[in-house]
Amino acid sequence: MPSSSPLVQTKGTDHPLPWQAPQETLTPGRVAQAFAGILAAIGTPAPAPKPRGKSPGRGKGHKPTPRPCYPMVKKRASKRKTSEQSLNSPVATAA
């Protein structure tokens, strides 16, 4: 949201919406509402865009280097969790 400077407040004219009461001095919100009209009146400081043409792209005959090959990463089998109860039980030791 643009800042509400005194210059902008004096340049802006109040165009209240139907449910808004007219004001003598503009509030920051009313200045923000009127900012499009203010910019149209005083203009913008930005210069107009300039055409630059088409980009050259990849040169003719250019061959990109191939991607490096890396060894395959294999997921190992998960270890079975052993608890104290399974170590002390007679069923686990009988096998």
User: What is the reported pTM?
Assistant: 0.33
Instruction: Read off the DSSP letter of residue 89.
Output: S
Taking the C-alpha atoms of residue 93 and residue 86, their distance in angstroms, rounded to an integer, is 9
CA 84 to chain centre: 52
Judge whether residue 92 has pLDDT over 60.
Answer: no
pLDDT tens string 48-79:
889 888 888 899 999 999 999 999 999 888 87
Q: What is the pLDDT of residue 39?
A: 80
Check residues 52 and 2 and name the one with the higher pLDDT: 52
